Amino acid sequence: MDAVRIYGGNCLSGQTKIQGSKNASLPILAATLLIDGTCEIVNCPDISDVYHMLRLLESLGCRVCRRADVIRIDTCGVAECDMPADSVGVMRSSIMLLGALLARMGEVAMEYPGGCVIGKRPIDLHLQALRRMGVEITEGPEEFCARAWRLHGAVHELPFVSVGVTENLILAAVLAEGETVIHPAAREPEIQALCEFLVSAGGKISGVGTDRLVIRGVKKLYPVRFCVPADRIVAGTWLAACLCAGGRVFLEDAPCGQMESVLACAEKLGGRLSPSPEGLLVEGRACKGLKKDLVTAVYPGFPTDLQSLFMAAIAFSGQDGRIVETVFENRFRIVPELLKMGADIRVQGNCACIRGNRPLCNTIVEAKELRGGAALVVAALAAEGTGIVTNRHYIDRGYEDITRSLRDLGAEIELA
């Protein structure tokens, strides 16, 4: 059965190591296409999204070898520019292969990418920006074709901050002729990791970590060995789990420097946090109310990927709270499932009002996307009784083994 069974009502205790970042691994794996040779990517998480990305790379002619958390990718045999529709359809991150393949092959044919249904996330902005770099695009009802005889630099003044567009433009620009400017560029740590990977391979990128990136095209990149940073969203997931269920847990390698907005919110809810270079110690549970709205925003604001997890924490706090979602319009798909558990949540537009005065009881609930699925598992840890979260495959997109990690923290959880 594609499900997880959780025996709730127990405090958490223990230690777990934070896996490598999903959102950094995927663009870095795409970036290996820009390098003629073999790269080694260390600390790459063993998750289904990475599996699909590797399958896409193999379909293009790459030779892929994985041993433990090290992936070796030899791109010398790349000869194709068409990708299998089934992998493209399940993973929206496949769109970032567009910029890399245009730089490598000069031509790409692909179906429109899929992934979790959390909002529109149209690719129009990707295509418009690439056209400014000399790309000709022919769009059909189910697929599109992009061609470029020679990519050239351009100034991109984007209408809003987009992680995906920033990544695609970086990948297209690093081997393009001339200079490319991206503003406002996304500042997420995953963008910084991609830039660090490309610079280590010989790329020329300035402004890393700011909202204005300048990429000066080079003629060639060189094979490198690169370590993927820890996943701040996974660390935030286990932090939310402790806030819901209570207890004392240590999150080894948690990237606390990337989590300032999350840590601040957790402390306001009543969690006791002790960050260190080795990770993050979390004690206590959510027991206080938020005096101000929790508003999601692009980095360094509160990440939309953790919104549903902190919704669960607020629901267990015994206090009222309000969440304003500004990034994706469909991030509240978890609400009907939390209502089944007894939560009192009302949604109006992009705002969710949570009343924390009702106990939650476990039942059968359905994961409808990646982070919402993880949030339902976290909620079930703290609720009374035995719960089942179906559609585990959504959760597997971003978590190596959610049952193992939570068992490390003392949870009673198993595959169902």
| Domain extents in the chain | 3-19+230-415, 22-227
Tokens at 152, concatenated: 């050239």
Q: Express each pLDDT in 7-45 by its tens digit.
A: 999 999 999 999 999 999 999 999 999 999 999 999 999
Burial class (CB in 10 A: 0-12, 13-18, 19+), 69: middle
* CATH hierarchy code of domain 3-19+230-415: 3.65.10.10
Question: Tokens 């990429």 map to which residue?
Answer: 215
- Specify the pLDDT at position 114: 59
pLDDT for position 88: 63
Closest CA to 18 of 246, 302, 279: 279
- Return the number of other C-beta atoms located less than 10 Å from residue 363's C-beta: 15
pLDDT, position 117: 45
Given a contact cutoff of 8 angstroms between Cβ atoms, the answer to whether 264 and 310 are in contact is: no
pLDDT of amino acid 160: 93
Q: What is the pLDDT of residue 330?
A: 77
H/E stretch holding 323 reads strand 321-324
Q: How far is Cα 14 from Cα 119, in angstroms, rounded to an integer? A: 36
Assess whether pLDDT exceeds 70 at residue 278: yes
Mean pLDDT of 128-147: 91
pTM for the predicted model, two decimal places: 0.95
* pLDDT tens string 43-93: 999 999 999 899 989 989 999 999 988 999 999 999 876 666 665 655 566
Confidence check: pLDDT of 351 > 60: yes
Q: Report the pLDDT averaged over residues 350-368.
A: 93
Three-class SS state of 57: helix
| pLDDT tens-digit readout, 337-348 | 999 999 999 999
Q: Return the bridge partners of 296, or none.
A: 302
Is the pLDDT score of 192 beyond 80? yes
Lowest mean pLDDT among 83-97, 148-162, 367-381, 402-416: 83-97
44 is catalytic: no
The pLDDT assigned to 81 comes to 65
Is residue 275 pLDDT above 80, yes or no?
A: yes
Catalytic residue among 39, 44, 116, 265: 116
Contact 22, 232 (CB under 8 A): no
Measured distance CA(352)–CA(314) in Å, rounded:
11
Please, what CATH class does the domain formed by 22-227 belong to?
alpha beta
- Range of lowest pLDDT (38-47, 83-92, 146-155, 209-218): 83-92
| Domains 3-19+230-415 and 22-227 in one fold | yes
- What's the mean pLDDT when you consider all of the chain? 93
